[in-house]
Amino acid sequence: MSTHILEPGEIGNVEPFPTVVLPTDVTLFEGRARRFRQLASGHALGKLLEVMAHIADAQHKAFRAGSASPISDELLKQSREHGMPALSCQADRDASWQHDLDAVITALIACPETVLQDAARKLQGIDAEGREAIADAVLAGGIAGDDPDTHAVLAPLVGAALQVWWTRQAGSMNTTDVGLIGSSTVCPVCASRPIASVVEIGANQSNLRYLNCSLCSTQWHMVRVTCSACESTKGITYFSLNGVENEEPSRKLAFARAEACDACHSYLKIFTREKEPMMDVTADDLATLTLDMLVDEAGFLRSGPNLLFSPGVPETE
Ligand SMILES: [Zn+2]
Ligand SMILES: [Zn+2]
Which residues are registered as beta bridge partners of 197?
211, 270
**Ligand nearest to C-alpha 263:** 2
* Ligand 2 center to 98 CA (angstroms): 35
pLDDT for 238 equals 94
Please provide residue 223's backbone torsions phi and psi, each rounded to the nearest 5 degrees: -60, 155
CB 278 within 8 A of CB 287: no
pLDDT for 203 equals 84
Measured from the Cβ of residue 292, the count of other Cβ atoms closer than 10 Å reads 19
Q: pTM for the full model?
A: 0.92
pLDDT for 181 equals 64
pLDDT for 74 equals 97
Please provide residue 258's backbone torsions phi and psi, each rounded to the nearest 5 degrees: -115, 125
Ordered DSSP codes for the chain: ---PPPPTTTGGGPPPPPSEE----TTHHHHHHHHHHHHHTT-TTHHHHHHHHHHHHHHHHHHHH--PPPPPHHHHHHHHHH---TT-TTSPPPTTHHHHHHHHHHHHHTSS-HHHHHHHHHHHTS-HHHHHHHHHHHHHT--SSS-HHHHHHHHHHHHHHHHHHHHHHHHTS-GGG----S-SSS-TTT-PPEEEEEE--STTTTT-EEEEETTT--EEE--SSS-TTT---SSEEEEETTEE----S-TT--SEEEEEETTT-EEEEEEEGGG-TT--HHHHHHHTHHHHHHHHHTT-EE-S--TT--TTPPPP-
pLDDT for 2 equals 41
* Ligand 1 center to 215 CA (angstroms): 5
Alpha-carbon Rg for the chain, nearest whole angstrom, is: 19
Please choose, from the candidates 207, 214, 217, 212, the residue with its C-alpha nearest in 3D space to the C-alpha of residue 275. Answer: 207
pLDDT for 183 equals 67
* Ligand 1 center to 28 CA (angstroms): 15
CB 266 within 8 A of CB 194: no
* Ligand 2 center to 155 CA (angstroms): 27
Residue 140 neighbours by CB under 8 Å, 6+ apart: none
**Ligand nearest to C-alpha 236:** 2
CB 139 within 8 A of CB 101: no
* Ligand 2 center to 160 CA (angstroms): 28
Which domains does the chain possess?
25-176 (3.90.1670.10), 179-302 (3.90.1670.10)
* Ligand 2 center to 233 CA (angstroms): 8
* Ligand 1 center to 251 CA (angstroms): 31
**Ligand nearest to C-alpha 194:** 1
Torsion of CA 297, 211, 208, 172, to 10 degrees: 160
pLDDT for 16 equals 83
Measured from the Cβ of residue 179, the count of other Cβ atoms closer than 10 Å reads 18
pLDDT for 92 equals 94
* Ligand 2 center to 235 CA (angstroms): 9
* Ligand 1 center to 268 CA (angstroms): 16
Please choose, from the candidates 74, 66, 76, the residue with its C-alpha nearest in 3D space to the C-alpha of residue 103. Answer: 66
**Ligand nearest to C-alpha 185:** 2
* Ligand 2 center to 236 CA (angstroms): 8
pLDDT along the chain (317 residues), means of 10: 47 71 98 98 97 98 97 96 95 96 98 97 97 96 90 96 98 94 86 97 92 98 95 95 70 88 97 96 97 96 93 42
Measured from the Cβ of residue 219, the count of other Cβ atoms closer than 10 Å reads 24
**Ligand nearest to C-alpha 262:** 2
* Ligand 2 center to 170 CA (angstroms): 27
Residue 33 neighbours by CB under 8 Å, 6+ apart: 53, 54, 56, 57, 59, 60
* Ligand 2 center to 80 CA (angstroms): 28
* Ligand 2 center to 306 CA (angstroms): 19
pLDDT for 180 equals 74
**Ligand nearest to C-alpha 225:** 2
CB 279 within 8 A of CB 11: no
Q: Specify burial of residue 68 (Cβ count, 10 A radius: 0-12, 13-18, 19+).
A: middle
* Ligand 2 center to 219 CA (angstroms): 20
**Ligand nearest to C-alpha 220:** 1
Residue 169 neighbours by CB under 8 Å, 6+ apart: 68, 69, 71, 87, 216
* Ligand 1 center to 44 CA (angstroms): 31
* Ligand 1 center to 189 CA (angstroms): 5
pLDDT for 119 equals 98
